[in-house]
Structure 1
């Protein structure tokens, strides 16, 4: 079976507006994607930025500074000796 009305010129006129509309939507979507990619790349840290470095934060009051070491007092009997299980000497 063939189509009952095959006036190609009339069909071209009727389809121009929807085709232009679809083309405009595609162009707009591609423009949005390109804008989004350039915006994201502009905000991304570059190779010279130190994005992996962790800034030291202030410790809460009363907590020891984790960068310092504390040596045990020399009079402590547990220093350098292992206590027997079950109590002290």
Structure 2
């Protein structure tokens, strides 16, 4: 198998995640307090650790790391979708 085929095969496979596990989301938005409140609201009642990460060069965007224990894939994806759909959030990674 060529290196290109190995890379292609590895990229097309779904990662193996063992639940429950601690998962980290990178959440980006414009208003610091609105983004932080959105993370808390969406993750409640499960405790979430929120740490400030970075500001864009212009100071227009701010990012946070949100670390939370997820019980299964459904919970992990549900939080991702809720963050993605929140008005205060511009991007989720």
Q: TM-score, normalised by structure 1?
A: 0.20
Task: Report which structure shows greater RCO (CA 8 Å, sep ≥6).
Answer: 2
**When the two structures are superposed, what TM-score results if normalisation uses the length of structure 2?**
0.19
Structure of larger gyration radius: 1
Higher fraction of strand: 2
